[in-house]
Structure formats: C-alpha cells, structure tokens
Amino acid sequence: MQLAPQSQLTGKKPAGPRSIADVALGRTLGVGAFGRVRLATCRGTGDVYALKCLKKHRLIETQQVKSIFSEKDILLEIAHPFVVNLFSYFQDRRYLYFALEFVQGGEFFHHLGNVGCLPSAHARFYAGCIVSVFAYMHERDIIYRDLKPENMLLHRDGYLKLADFGAAKFLSTTTSSRGEHGDSSSASSSASSSQRSQRTNSHLRSCFDGPEDGSYLRTDSFLGTPEYIAPELLLNRGHGKPVDWWTLGILIFEMVTGKPPICDEDEEVLVEERVHSTLASRRSARSSRGSSRHHHGESQERTENATSGRDFGRSESLTGCGAGAASSDSPRRRLDYPMSIYQRILGKEKIRFPRHFDPHAKDLVKGLLTVDLERRLGGGQSLETSVAAIRNHAWFRAGLREHWDHSSCAEQAGSGGAARSQSGENCGEEWFKLLEAKVLAPPFLPQIRDKADTASFVENYDETEPEDVPPSVPTDQDPFRSWD
C-alpha cells in the first residue's frame, strides 16, 4: 500500500485507508465496465471516501494494465483545487482500489441535464474551472483528452472537480503511444484511420501537421467521446495539448445550448425537445416564485439526458466507472454511430450558433474549434502565450466586470472601479485569480446534509450481485504486483 504524498495534495489531508479491511463500504455511487465506485467510511477516523474498485481480471483481459498505472501516476503528480484528490491506493487478489475524495455535489452531467442549458455567466464560471485545470496540467506536459459533463463533479462549495484520469497521459517528444491502451484497440484504430484518411482531402490533413521541428509534444492513441473528438485525433497523425482546448470549445457550446455543436441528427431532435421542455418548466417555475432568486439547479424535474452513453474506448467516470447505456431508442444504438459524427467533424461542418449565444462566448468557441492547430486558441507553440490568450479572452474579462458590478462590498467595489479603469488586457487573468481563490460566488450550491450524504447521486444500483464478484488473479500471473 502507498499513501499519496502529502506535499502533492491541496491543504492538510487525512491519511487514506491502507486496505479494504480499513473501510466500511456504503452504497454504490456508480457502475461501469471495470468495476464500481462505492462510498467508503474509514473505520478508525470516520473519514469518507469514494472508493474506486477495479476488477483486475477485466483490466488484464482488455489490456488496460499500462493505462491504469498511468492513471495512478498522474493522480499522484497533480494537486489542484478543481481536481479530485487521491488519498491512497491498494489492492487485493481481485481488485485495485483508489481511495478518492468524495465529491458530494454529484455529476455535473445530471445538473446540466435537469436544466437543459445554462446562462452565459454560469457557463463561464464552470468553463473557467476547466481552463485553470488544463493550464495546470499542460504545464506538467499532461493532457486530459476526455472532457465532458459526465467527468465533472460538483463540490459542496459549488465549484467543479474534474474526475476520471483514465484517458490522461504524460506527453513525450519521442515516445509514441500506439498500443498504450492495448494492441487490439491500436489495430482497430489504425484500420479505421486508414478508412478515414481516404475521405479526407490533402488540404484538411495539412492543417494538423504542426511544426516540423518536433516542438509539439504528441501522442497517437485514439480514444475519447465522439462528440468531443478533435479532428486531428480522428486522423491518427498524432495529437497533443490542443485536443483539450478543442474539447473545452465543445463543452462551452453544450453548456450554453444543451447539446454539442456536432452530434447525431436524430439526437439533435431529442436534445432540442428536452431543452425546450426544460426551459418551459423553468419559465413556469420562475413566474410562480415571483421575484425570488433563480439558481440553475432549482428545477426539480428530472428528464432523461439524451446525451448519455457517449463513452467509448478506455473511459470511466469517477462516479460511474463508465457511462450508462443509452436508451433503446437512442441514436447511439445505431450501427453507423459514431461514424456519422466523425464524418461531420472531418467535413469541417459550420457550427450554427443560436441567437441567444453570447457574442464573446461565440468568439471564444470559434477560436477553440479552429481546425488549423496554428490558429486554434491554446494551440500555439508557446504555452504561456496560448493559455494567456484564453484566460484574457473578452468572455472571461467580462466576468470580472460582472463580479464588481454585482458586489455589495464597498471595498471590493472600489477595487472594481480601479480594475475597470485599466486597459482591460489583464482583466481575464484577474478574474481567474478570484476564481482559483474561490472568491467568486458559484451559480449553484448543492444541498448537503452531512459528510456522508449521497443524495446528489441520483442513480440507484443493485447492491446484491453475486455474479459481480470477479475471479482472483494468481500471484504469479498478476501484472499489478508492483502496484503498491
């Protein structure tokens, strides 16, 4: 057993459990292909964790051994206020365990599904949390690669926590990652890449070559979520940090409109119906409440999210260990999904922005969803320049002005006047400082009763599944002997 180094965790953290015998297991928070996540209370201290339990034999069968070691190393490397903390990790003959921070607000996916779409200011708050995490990770040459609402959790203070680092990777200038998630997936990826390449003209391919001097840190593996896949990843010609900024553009669009900019046509109809229904219920609720303040989480109607089941490849949520299955009438059941989405991405389909889309947010999204890596925001060779271009974008600069305008504190208002009198070029950076210090008021505060409250996790799972007990792995055949 190995404890996560205290110096790499944010603030003073209690020691995590050392074995499965040290915890009392509670309800299941999520279930997926490799195992499940359960509430776990430490017998000695009463501290509560989200215990991620992964079946060894499934990881071995699907050739995910190297991937899970990488996930552990990355979790030990990073310490950021908007990232789920790892406290300890251990194993037995059947499972690998991650004792993770229990983030009680639940999945952002469900909160977004309840309301359909967010006001621009709320979307900016959550997008800012992701920008902060990506900038931090990229400084350490780590890419995330699987941003989506399902992998975002709400802390009890209303701020985001990014979860599930199974798709994350340390970058290298010399190491190719073909086969990092298994030879079979690599072979399948190469075959599909050949077919995709035939449908892509030479001009489009030239947009992804990047510098010839090898200054981009890149990897070659093919994984992610269809609607969030960057075009350079589809071409299987290597990708790096710009893929994360592409996914941020998709996320902002989905938060503001309720759907990704490029998705299956049948799904677009389902999502539009859901969004329109939710907006109608919110208007009705607002009128009945009169002038009471409206938070985006107040709507109690729970509608089925038409964007469930987006995962493929090696992708697991902290709370779900993988996405739930799509409903029987979901377009994701079709055999041509997700190829229809890939074709639209590679075809450089023009993004259609609704009228209510904030102009500054629209400009940022267009910059993030630029095919040419040299022109994509966040895609420049200089990390400092590319991240600064995003953090000081007009959309985030507007956040600082709104903060001072809504502040009731005279002292803050005075500082705000000074900030407004500046040229404005660094207003975005000032807004991020407030965000990272958790000074900004979050759009929504989860209602938490106590440290073991799981009410925000809406899915109910069968806790009695005898067939779910995996076989033990013999010691001489166990590739995880060095795990702890």
- Answer for the pair 407, 415: CB distance below 8 angstroms, yes or no: no
Q: Is the pLDDT of residue 358 over 60?
A: yes
Q: Is the pLDDT of residue 190 over 70?
A: no
- Answer for the pair 48, 452: CB distance below 8 angstroms, yes or no: yes
Distance CA 261, CA 268 (A): 9
Q: Which helix (H) or strand (E) holds 31?
A: strand 23-32
* Strand pairing class (86-91; 35-42): unpaired
Q: Which of 22, 146, 220, 264 is catalytic?
A: 146
- Give φ, ψ of 126 to 5 degrees: -70, -35
- Give φ, ψ of 91 to 5 degrees: -155, 165
- Segment 77-132, tens digit of pLDDT: 999 999 999 999 999 999 999 999 999 999 999 999 999 999 999 999 999 999 99
Contacts of 70 (CB under 8 A, 6+ apart): 168, 169, 170, 180
Amino acid at 167: A
Distance CA 484, CA 476 (A): 16
Angle, helix 359-368 to helix 394-406, in steps of 10 degrees = 150
- Confidence at 425, pLDDT banded by 50, 70, 90: low
Residue limits of CATH 1.10.510.10 in the chain: 108-390
Whether the bond into 338 is cis, omega within 30 of 0: yes
What is the model's pLDDT at position 461?
80
Q: Which helix (H) or strand (E) holds 53?
A: strand 48-55
Distance CA 144, CA 437 (A): 23
What is the model's pLDDT at position 109?
93
The DSSP secondary structure of 327-383, one letter per residue, reads: PTT-GGGSTTTTHHHHHHHHTTPPP---TTS-HHHHHHHHHHT-SSTTTSTT-SS-H
Q: Is the pLDDT of residue 166 over 50?
A: yes
What is the model's pLDDT at position 383?
58
Which CATH architecture does the domain made up of 2-105+448-464 adopt?
2-Layer Sandwich (3.30)
Distance CA 111, CA 60 (A): 35
Mean model confidence pLDDT for the chain: 74
What is the model's pLDDT at position 222?
58
Annotation marks residue 146 as catalytic: yes
Amino acid at 289: R
For residue 80 the two structure tokens come to 């950021």
Which range of 1-15, 111-125, 306-320 scores highest in mean pLDDT? It is 111-125
Residue limits of CATH 3.30.200.20 in the chain: 2-105+448-464
Q: Is the pLDDT of residue 409 over 60?
A: no
469, 436, 450, 444: which is closest to 102 by C-alpha? Answer: 450
Distance CA 389, CA 377 (A): 7
Contacts of 416 (CB under 8 A, 6+ apart): 400, 401, 403, 404, 405, 407
- Answer for the pair 244, 134: CB distance below 8 angstroms, yes or no: yes
7, 77, 13: which is closest to 49 by C-alpha? Answer: 13
- Answer for the pair 253, 363: CB distance below 8 angstroms, yes or no: no
Pick the CATH number of 108-390 from 1.10.1040.10, 1.10.3720.10, 3.40.50.740, 1.10.510.10: 1.10.510.10
Taking the CA atoms of the chain, what radius of gyration do you get in angstroms?
A: 22
- Answer for the pair 142, 219: CB distance below 8 angstroms, yes or no: no
